[in-house]
């Protein structure tokens, strides 16, 4: 590094800053909203902290860790479903929308947890799973019992005298079929997910009213946001006409954004969302930018935010991904939403492998540094960042090799389906090892004691054996740890609206190692430089990009020689320009 060059840049910057402060502050040309500025920390409650030794995380466990959550600097928490559930799909099959799952605790625990979050300035986002319920829900029990039961139309039934219903594909069914024949009433019922997750019939106004009442119940309790599970699928063409062959390869096009979805959302907005200081985010956003805009644009009065699947689709196979593909998708979505609408930014969640294993490099040499780089990406992009528990530490995929080790219904039924189709099971197991949702669900690694300090009992899913090296305790002590880097990055975003609202522009649009972009807001401009590879690389910054004060860097120094920047493996830098 050449010091005279840096000193020159720095003094130039000081003069420049002094000039800027003399000018009157400009009116912001963006619409500030707390849910845009907030950073969400997603907790898979089953795996965060077990307080009673049954091997399953619970609400009292979360209460114990509220100070830790606050120490991250995040300002919202989204919990995966905590309602009563037989747990076929770990809480995504709900049998009672107004009670807490026994394994997780009681309503008193919930109230205490919520109050504890609010005391710490943390808002709470509730998962709302209403495309389907559990088959153990009272509504379904009634509905199933006879054709003339008042609850019959709460679900989609196809009487067998109409013949076999047209094929519908199912995400989790062990035969891949979404219609299940039920001899009790000689009819088929629809389940896009597992057979124990029958789809609710949103055409029925009573169903919609039930859902809105449930949402009001939780809003009255003080929750601040709703994450609407699989919501793009709720509206269906109930004639169930034939779909073109191979439709399941573009499922969001055929299942998403059904004919009455917007009508349902307007009702939800009128009855619930407009009545409280809450926001709602839908999982899924159709299959085009127009679909997504139609959900979240500010004049729509529907939702406040959406998350699309295109970003997370990149790298979702053993073939991995190229940087061009990754950058292309994020850049297209950013520019499509630069003027209106709002999206979320995330690289992992409970349906995905661990972020560092999928997008970074989880080898001992590069795990920590690439994890910091990925967190720099999430926390410097436009959109509300969703940070998944454990990704602040660089937790990695777990290496299961036998199907008996998996717990996830998607893995177990997927295995049965592959077997019955005569698939190559070695390939299947290899893919599962990388992509399984269980990778992202292993217990939180708190310390180096038994079970990583997660539980005194037998954890419901094994703890990753790297917990003695990757855990909160160790990282608390190390100023340079992933955890402390994450905290610095969160602080930086919170202190600088440019990272939330600033315009985004890519530099080096074709570079295969370095993802670089600028953010700009009013007079201010920053550059974000991310080396997505395990090789050092030199890039030449454009003449008009003069690097100034470095805001954050996951290495000790910046090697800048004139406009030539030499980046270390997985280096990430944010600097003023």
Which of the residues are catalytic?
Answer: 229, 283
- For the bound state, the minimum distance from the C-beta of residue 492 to ligand TEU, rounded and expressed in Å, comes to 29
In the bound state with ligand TEU, the residue whose beta carbon lies nearer, of 130 and 472, is 130
Helix, strand, or coil (residue 76) = strand
Q: Identify which of residues 93 and 361 has a Cβ nearer to ligand TEU in the complex.
A: 93
Report the residue number whose CB is nearest to ligand TEU.
92
Among 48, 92, 218, 504, binds ligand TEU (CB under 6 A): 92
Write down the least CB distance from residue 546 to ligand TEU, Å: 44
* Spatial CB neighbours of 497, under 8 Å, sequence gap ≥ 6: 28, 30, 32, 37, 521
Instruction: Work out how close the CB of 121 gets to ligand TEU at its nearest, in angstroms, rounded to a whole number.
Output: 27
Least distance from ligand TEU to the Cβ atom of residue 285, Å? 12
Burial 14-49 (b: 16+ CB within 10 A, else e): eeeeeeeeeeeeeeeeeeebebbebbbbbbbbbbbb
Which residue carries 């699989």 as its tokens? 230
437 belongs to the binding site for ligand TEU (CB under 6 A): yes
Size of the site for ligand TEU (CB under 6 A): 12
In a 10 Å sphere around its CB, with 0-12 CB exposed, 13-18 middle and 19+ buried, how is residue 294 labelled? Answer: buried
- Considering beta carbons, is residue 219 or 410 the nearer one to ligand TEU? 410
Work out the burial of residue 2: count CB atoms within 10 Å of its CB; fewer than 13 is exposed, 13-18 middle, 19 or more buried: exposed
- For 87: left if phi > 0, alpha if psi spans -120 to 50, otherwise beta; the answer is left
First to last CA, the chain: 18
CA pair distance 239, 236, nearest whole angstrom:
9
Q: How far is the CB of 200 from ligand TEU (least distance, A)?
A: 12
Q: How far is the CB of 389 from ligand TEU (least distance, A)?
A: 15
Q: How many CB atoms lie within 10 A of CB 320?
A: 12
Q: Which parts of 147-186 interact with ligand TEU (CB under 6 A)? A: 171
Closer residue to ligand TEU, CB minimum distance, 230 or 560: 230
Q: To the nearest whole angstrom, how small is the minimum distance from the Cβ of residue 438 to ligand TEU?
A: 11
Q: Does 229 bind ligand TEU (CB under 6 A)?
A: yes
The residues in 410-429 that bind ligand TEU, with binding defined as CB under 6 A, are 410
Q: In this complex, which beta carbon is closest to ligand TEU, that of residue 144 or of residue 350?
A: 350
Q: Does 508 bind ligand TEU (CB under 6 A)?
A: no
| C-alpha dihedral (218, 227, 354, 427), degrees to nearest 10 | 120
Pick from 50, 58, 75, 89 the residue near ligand TEU by CB under 6 A.
Answer: 89
* Contacts of 482-487 spanning 24+ positions with Cβ under 8 A: 482/368, 482/371, 482/372, 482/375, 482/392, 482/393, 482/394, 483/392, 483/393, 485/372, 485/375, 485/554, 486/72, 486/372, 486/375, 486/387, 486/392, 487/71, 487/72, 487/73, 487/392
Task: Please give the distance of CA 526 from its chain centroid, rounded to a whole number.
Answer: 26
Closer residue to ligand TEU (CB): 92 or 124: 92
Q: Binding ligand TEU by CB under 6 A: which of 41, 104, 151, 193?
A: 193
Q: How buried is residue 511: exposed, middle or buried, by Cβ count under 10 Å (0-12/13-18/19+)?
A: middle
Q: Is 125 one of the binding residues for ligand TEU (CB under 6 A)?
A: no
- Judged by CB, which is closer to ligand TEU: 171, or 333? 171
Q: Is 137 in the site for ligand TEU (CB under 6 A)?
A: no
Residue of the chain from 39, 43, 125, 230 that contacts ligand TEU (CB under 6 A):
230
- Annotate each residue in 342-361 with x if it binds ligand TEU (CB under 6 A) or - if it does not, as one string: --------xx----------
Q: Which is nearer to ligand TEU, 90 or 533 (CB)?
A: 90
By the rule CB under 6 A, 129 interacts with ligand TEU? yes
Q: How far is the CB of 225 from ligand TEU (least distance, A)?
A: 16
Can you read off the two tokens belonging to residue 567?
A: 């980046």
Site for ligand TEU in 253-292 (CB under 6 A): 283
At a CB cut-off of 8 Å and minimum separation 6, what does 199 contact?
131, 132, 155, 156, 189, 190, 191, 192, 233, 236
| Residues in touch with ligand TEU (CB under 6 A) | 89, 92, 129, 171, 193, 229-230, 283, 350-351, 410, 437
């Amino acid at each position: 590094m050449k010091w005279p060059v840096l000193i020159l840049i720095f003094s130039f910057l000081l003069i420049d800053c002094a000039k800027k402060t003399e000018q009157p502050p400009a009116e912001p040309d963006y619409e500030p909203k707390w849910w845009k500025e907030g950073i969400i920390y997603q907790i898979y409650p089953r795996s965060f902290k077990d307080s009673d030794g049954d091997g399953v995380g619970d609400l009292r466990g979360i209460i114990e860790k509220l100070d830790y959550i606050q120490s991250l600097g995040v300002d919202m928490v989204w919990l995966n479903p905590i309602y009563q559930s037989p747990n076929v799909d770990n809480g995504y099959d709900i049998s009672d929308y107004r009670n807490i799952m026994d394994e997780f605790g009681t309503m008193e625990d919930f109230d205490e947890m919520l109050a504890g979050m609010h005391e710490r300035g943390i808002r709470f986002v509730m998962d709302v799973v209403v495309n389907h319920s559990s088959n153990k829900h009272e509504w379904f029990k009634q509905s199933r019992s006879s054709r003339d039961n008042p609850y019959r139309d709460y679900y989609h039934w196809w009487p067998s005298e109409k013949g076999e219903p047209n094929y519908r594909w199912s995400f989790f069914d062990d035969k891949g079929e979404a219609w299940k024949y039920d001899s009790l009433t000689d009819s088929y019922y629809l389940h896009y997910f597992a057979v124990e997750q029958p789809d609710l019939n949103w055409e029925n106004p009573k169903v919609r009213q039930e859902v809105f009442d449930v949402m009001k119940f939780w809003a009255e309790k003080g929750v601040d946001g709703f994450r609407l599970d699989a919501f793009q699928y709720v509206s269906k063409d109930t004639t169930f006409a034939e779909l073109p062959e191979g439709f399941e390869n573009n499922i969001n096009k055929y299942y998403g954004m059904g004919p009455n979805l917007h009508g349902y959302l307007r009702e939800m907005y009128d009855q619930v969302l407009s009545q409280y200081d809450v926001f709602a985010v839908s999982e899924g956003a159709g299959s085009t930018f127009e679909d997504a805009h139609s959900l979240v644009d500010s004049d729509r009065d529907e939702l406040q935010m959406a998350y699309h699947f295109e970003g997370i689709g990149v790298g979702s196979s053993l073939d991995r991904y190229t940087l061009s593909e990754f950058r292309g998708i994020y850049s297209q979505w950013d520019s499509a939403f630069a003027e209106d609408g709002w999206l979320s930014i995330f690289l992992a969640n409970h349906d995905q492998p661990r972020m560092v294993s999928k997008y970074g490099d989880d080898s001992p040499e590069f795990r920590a540094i690439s994890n910091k780089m990925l967190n720099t990406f999430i926390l410097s992009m436009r959109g509300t960042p969703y940070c998944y528990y454990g990704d602040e530490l660089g937790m990695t995929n777990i290496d299961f090799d036998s199907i008996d080790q998996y717990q996830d219904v998607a893995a177990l039924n997927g295995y049965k389906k592959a077997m019955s189709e005569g698939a190559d099971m070695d390939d299947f197991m290899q893919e599962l090892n990388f992509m399984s949702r269980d990778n992202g669900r292993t217990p939180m690694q708190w310390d180096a004691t038994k079970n990583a300090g997660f539980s005194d009992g037998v954890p419901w899913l094994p703890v990753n054996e790297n917990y003695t090296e990757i855990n909160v305790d160790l990282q608390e002590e190390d100023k340079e740890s992933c955890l402390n880097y994450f905290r610095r990055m969160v602080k930086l975003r919170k202190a600088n609206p440019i990272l939330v609202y600033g315009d985004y522009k890519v530099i080096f649009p074709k570079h295969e190692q370095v993802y670089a972009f600028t953010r700009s807001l009013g007079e201010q401009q920053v550059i974000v430089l991310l080396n997505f590879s395990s090789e050092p690389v030199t890039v030449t910054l454009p003449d008009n990009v003069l690097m100034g004060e470095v805001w954050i860097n996951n290495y000790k120094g910046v090697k800048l020689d004139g406009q030539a920047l030499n980046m270390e493996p997985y280096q990430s830098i944010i600097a003023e320009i």
